[in-house]
A and B are shown apart, each in its own frame.
Chain A
Amino acid sequence: MSVLDAPAGSGPRTGTADSRTALIPVFARLKLALLRNGLRQSSGRRAAYIASVVGALLIAAGQLLGLILLRGNAHADSVVVLLTAVVALGWAVMPLFFSAGDETLDPTRLVMLPLRPRPLIVALLVSSLIGLGPLFTLCLAAGSVVALAHGAGAVVFAVLAVPLTLLVCVALARAVAAANTRLLTSRKGRDLAVLSGLVIAVGIQVVNFGAQRLGQAGGLSSLDPAADVLRWVPPASAVGSVGSAAQGAYGRAVVQLLLAVAALVALLWLWQRTLTKLMTSPDGSTTAAAGPGRDKAGRTGAGLWALLPEGRTGTVMQRSLRYVARDPKTKAAWVTALAVGLIVPLINALQGQGSVYFACFASGMLGIQMYNQFGQDTSAFWMVAQTISSPRDAYLELRARALALLLITLPYTVLVAVVTAALLGDWPVLPGVVGLSFALLGAMLATGATASVLFPYSVPQEGAFKNVAPGQAGLAWISILGGMVTAAVLSAPVIALTITLHVTGRTDWLWLLVPVGAAYGVLTAWGGVRLAAPRMAARLPEIISAVSKG
């Protein structure tokens, strides 16, 4: 019935030469079976998969059509090369963020099988050609060469370039995935996956900006410099070779094609090496923690930390700042806030239509970090709650968190204002912007402290895109939107003063806003923390249960 029933020693025990041929269909069938079973699990998943198949096919078809239409265009060469490079980049980055999608991808599942690396690699490579991604890439590569291939010589190169492009892409993904399997099964790797949301968020801003620039400046011809470089980088070089051949530069074409072949060989070699290493060395998660002997190093109170005040204030600030650096969720929120807070005023300034006052956006974005302070702690907040027994303790705790935030926010706000003013060349407005930012920041801290106490909610630790536990989304929105409106109202006097100074034309008095805004910000922040503290001390159990839901 099975191998277990066969008499001992009767079957083949190790992979022989013919196992290479046998392995490929096994893996291909395994891949198909996994795909089928995955779809069988739930109708929702099936629907999602079918929708994504249809979507991908439509896009692929559209792309194919578009590329074919591009045939004969003067810039077709550049577009096609860039597109291939972008897709290859996608293949390289994908396995870093989406690890669980493909079970045949995980070599640790194959450790117990008597498989030799070389046939295994070939079989894995073939099985990974099955799927949506490869199909999509195939359409792209085919379209690309159709757009470029003029003349019989170019067609020969095209026929070679299409499979080569596809293979390099797949091998690239596999090599990266193998190199990262250990990372992905470790805590650090999962942290990285949480940060992927951030890469996407910031990436969208950059792409958006790039697209706008492209629209403004001379269109497709601005792509040429980038394409000139990428045409030598595999797998784009394979597509590039078709273009070269079409122009009659066969020598260049051969070199480009050989580059792609070399890349494929190198990737396969690299993949095989990491795979062998992975399958023969112990799992990173089970190796003992033979930590480096830094007994004295990293002692608390050493280095810059010593500058923080003693007592609860310094302790809480230190912990908050460490979490900004170490906790992936907190870090992602911070880096997003820092990046978006800078990018928005900058884009507006670069487009030449913005005002320096857009720099206030940075203080708003960073002020949001004060919201849901205890949700950021997760259920570990009980450790804080155990040490808070009076409104005074609560006041110190909230104030310290606000101070930690200011340590990053204050210089950053000033920096964004200065950079924006420099880009627009509008220096006289700068003090007004800085003063208004301070006032806004103070108001955000005040409302943030209050909202943290009154509307805490859980932040799920897994997944890059979930920042609110199920059922608490309403709470989160009330907290942040209500808080921002309140913050705007709170800083109304300073806003009014700014507007008055501008309307009445007394812009040389704008420097006044720096001390006024700072004083007003300090006052509102202090007031908010002061108001929130007794409520925090009284609501500790409620806060714990609210932040322990994720």
Chain B
Amino acid sequence: MPDRVEHDGTERPREAPPAVRVEGLWKRFGEQTAVAGIDLELPAGKFIGLVGPNGAGKTTTLSMVTGLLRPDQGRIEVGGRDVWRDPVEVKSRIGVLPEGLRLFERLSGRELLAYTGRLRGLPGQEVDSRATQLLDVLDLAGSQHKLVIDYSTGMRKKIGLAAALLHNPEVLFLDEPFEGVDPVSAQTIRKVLERYTRSGATVVFSSHVMELVESLCDWVAVMAAGAIRAQGPLAEVRGSATSLQNAFLELVGAGDRDTGETLDWLGGDR
């Protein structure tokens, strides 16, 4: 591992090791290959979007990177440390908001934060004061004593985000953080994330909404059918295309799918 840090140091003298480095990552579920040997190198301090259609393997990849799912094969480093061999160092440095997994919903919002922070080993008073601020900023102060099970989707995402930020992680992984979230909550989440990345932290989030990724991210990785199709700064990936949406459709090979004459009756004589 030290030689890798050195290697990075010679190539990019002013930058820390990449926030996330993935090498030859595989995951199969029975017959189906969810992630087919991907390599990724996500720079630190950036707002990074992992984009791809439904079923591209985004959630599987993020789960493996965050230690929630064991890979079949491959190597994952966060901040230069191996996720699976050095969990002590990695888990304290990352924050996670997974998709499709529950929270401890029978706790109130505030209790959930108090619980998470203390499990993370933060001192109680510090947890409580951070929780108060996060609840305020995320506009949850009014429902902090309601059970999370009674929260709306947007409120759940926000309380999940607060729990992920509580220990001030270096890298934040968010799986579909804007899915099913109303515009007001989405804007709140966005503001918090932008402020967080300005401090030098890294945000990696997955989405299939290209406009969102285009407006938020400065670095993107495009995934389709378990493979990485492109990765790099937004402008580079977009290339000559008019929008990320078009660049993406070209990359995944759906850009010029012609509906042809199959639906020619649609809109015709009635």
- Taking Cβ atoms with an 8 Å cutoff, the residues of A that contact B are 187, 289-292, 294, 297-301, 310-312, 314-316, 318-319, 322-323, 326-327, 377-380, 382-390, 540-542, 544-545, 548
Closest to A329 in B: B106
The 8 A-B residue pairs with the shortest CB-CB distance in the complex, in nearest-first order? A315-B118, A389-B87, A300-B114, A387-B119, A326-B106, A389-B88, A541-B70, A380-B102
Question: Please, which residues of chain B bring their CB within 8 A of the CB of A300?
Answer: 110-111, 114, 124, 128
What is the CB-to-nearest-CB distance from B113 to chain A, in angstroms, rounded to a whole number?
A: 9
Contacts A379-B101, A541-B67, A544-B68 hold; do A312 and B119 have CB atoms under 8 A apart?
A: yes
- State the CA gap A314–B115 with chains docked (Å): 10
A–B Cβ pairs within 8 angstroms, 14 of them: A187-B147, A291-B143, A292-B145, A298-B108, A298-B145, A300-B110, A300-B114, A300-B128, A314-B118, A380-B102, A380-B103, A541-B68, A541-B69, A544-B68
Q: Which of A292, A301, A378 contacts B124 (CB 8 A)?
A: A301
Looking at the complex, which one of B88, B142, B149, B163 makes contact with A291 (CB distance below 8 Å)?
B142
Q: Are A318 and B115 touching (Cβ within 8 A)?
A: yes
Q: In the bound complex, what is the Cα–Cα distance between A294 and B115 (angstroms)?
A: 20
Question: Given that A187-B149, A300-B110, A541-B70 are known contacts, is A315 also in contact with B103, CB under 8 Å in the complex?
Answer: no
Given contacts A291-B143, A300-B110, 18 further A-B contacts (CB under 8 A): A289-B146, A299-B110, A300-B128, A310-B124, A315-B115, A315-B119, A322-B107, A323-B104, A327-B106, A382-B68, A382-B96, A383-B104, A386-B67, A387-B120, A389-B90, A390-B88, A542-B70, A545-B69
B91 close to A (CB within 8 Å) = yes
Contact A311 B121 (CB under 8 A): yes
User: In the complex, which residue of chain B has the Cβ closest to the Cβ of A188?
Assistant: B150
Q: Which A residues touch B68, using CB under 8 A?
A: 382, 385-386, 541, 544
Chain A residue nearest in CB terms to B114: A300
Closest to A327 in B: B106
Q: Within the assembled complex, what's the spacing in Å between the Cα atoms of A298 and B146?
A: 11
B142 cross-chain contacts in A, Cβ below 8 A: 289-291
A163 to B136, CA, bound (A): 61
Q: Does B116 sit at the interface, judged by CB under 8 A? A: yes
User: Which residues of B sit under 8 angstroms from A544, Cβ to Cβ?
Assistant: 68-69, 101
Residues on the A chain within 8 Å of B146, using CB: 289, 291
- Collect the chain A residues with CB atoms within 8 Å of residue B124's CB: 300-301, 310
In the complex, residue of chain A having the shortest beta-carbon distance to the beta carbon of B95: A386
Please name all residues of chain A whose beta carbon is closer than 8 Å to the beta carbon of B145 when the two chains form the complex: 291-292, 294, 297-298
A545 to chain B, nearest CB (A): 7
Please give the distance in Å from B115's CB to the nearest CB on chain A. Answer: 5
Q: Closest A-chain residue to B141, C-beta based?
A: A295
Residues of B within 8 A of A545 (CB): 69
CB distance from A403 to the nearest CB of B (A): 15
Find chain A residues with CB under 8 A from B188 CB.
Answer: none
CB interface residues, B 13-27, toward A, < 8 Å: none
On whether the beta carbons of B120 and A322 are closer than 8 Å, the reply is: no
In the complex formed, the residue of B with least CB distance to A285 is: B150
**Which residues does chain B contribute within 8 Å of A297, judged by CB atoms?**
145
Q: How far is the CA of A292 from the CA of B143 in the complex (A)?
A: 9
**What's the nearest-Cβ distance from chain B to residue A379, in Å?**
4
Chain B residues, Cβ within 8 Å of A310: 124
Q: Does B187 contact A (CB under 8 A)?
A: no
Docked Cα-Cα span, A312 to B127, in Å, equals: 13
Cα–Cα distance between A400 and B96 once the two chains are bound (Å): 24
Q: Does B92 contact A (CB under 8 A)?
A: yes
Contacts of A326 in B (CB 8 A): 106-107, 147
Q: How far is the CA of A316 from the CA of B180 in the complex (A)?
A: 31
B105 contacts the other chain (Cβ, under 8 Å)?
yes
A382 near B118 with CB under 8 A, answer: no
- For residue B261, give the distance in angstroms from its CB to the closest CB of chain A: 35
B45 CB within 8 Å of chain A: no
Distance A548 CA – B128 CA, assembled complex (angstroms):
30
CB-defined interface of B137-176 with A at 8 Å, one 1/0 digit per residue? 0000011011101100000000000010000000000000
Q: How far is the CA of A389 from the CA of B84 in the complex (A)?
A: 10
Question: Please, how many angstroms separate the alpha-carbon atoms of A297 and B111 in the complex?
Answer: 12
Decide yes or no: A319 and B115 within 8 Å by CB, A289-B142, A389-B92 being known contacts. yes
For A387, list chain B residues within 8 Å (CB): 91, 116, 119-121
A542 to B63, CA, bound (A): 12
Contacts of A322 in B (CB 8 A): 106-107, 111
Closest residue of A by beta carbon distance from B155: A289
Candidate in B87, B106, B108 with the most chain A CB atoms within 10 angstroms: B106
With a cutoff of 8 Å between Cβ atoms, the chain B residues found around residue A299 in the complex are 110, 128
Q: Is the CB of A319 within 8 A of B107?
A: yes
A319 to B92, CA, bound (A): 21
| Residues on the B chain within 8 Å of A315, using CB | 114-115, 118-119
B98 at the interface (CB under 8 A from A): yes
Within 8 Å CB of A386, what residues of B?
66-68, 91, 96
Tell me the minimal C-beta distance from B138 to chain A in angstroms: 15
Interface residues in B27-77 (C-beta closer than 8 Å to A) = 66-70
Asked if A383 and B116 sit within 8 Å, CB to CB, the answer is yes
